[in-house]
Chains A and B, each alone.
Chain A
Amino acid sequence: SAVISQKPSRDICQRGTSLTIQCQVDSQVTMMFWYRQQPGQSLTLIATANQGSEATYESGFVIDKFPISRPNLTFSTLTVSNMSPEDSSIYLCSAQTGGTEAFFGQGTRLTVV
Chain B
Amino acid sequence: GEDVEQSLFLSVREGDSSVINCTYTDSSSTYLYWYKQEPGAGLQLLTYIFSNMDMKQDQRLTVLLNKKDKHLSLRIADTQTGDSAIYFCAEPPMDTGRRALTFGSGTRLQVQP
User: A residues engaging B (CB < 8 A)?
Assistant: 4, 6, 31, 33, 35, 41-43, 45, 48, 92, 94, 96, 99-107, 109
Note all chain A residues with C-beta closer than 8 A to B43: 43, 92, 94, 102, 104
List chain B positions with a Cβ less than 8 A from chain A. Answer: 30-31, 33, 35, 40-45, 48, 88, 90, 92, 98-101, 103-106
Do residues B42 and A42 form an inter-chain contact, with CB atoms below 8 A?
no
A105 to B40, CA, bound (A): 11
A6-B42, A43-B103 given as contacts; is B88 within 8 A of A100 (CB)? no
Structural contact, B42 and A100, CB atoms closer than 8 A: no
Which of A4, A102, A105, A109 makes the CB contact (< 8 A) with B101?
Answer: A102
Q: Are B31 and A42 in contact (CB under 8 A)?
A: no
B interface, over-half SS: loop
> CA of A1 to CA of B30 in the docked complex: distance in angstroms?
19
Q: List 14 A-B contacts (CB under 8 A).
A: A33-B99, A41-B106, A45-B100, A48-B98, A48-B99, A92-B42, A94-B43, A94-B100, A99-B31, A101-B31, A104-B42, A105-B42, A107-B40, A107-B41
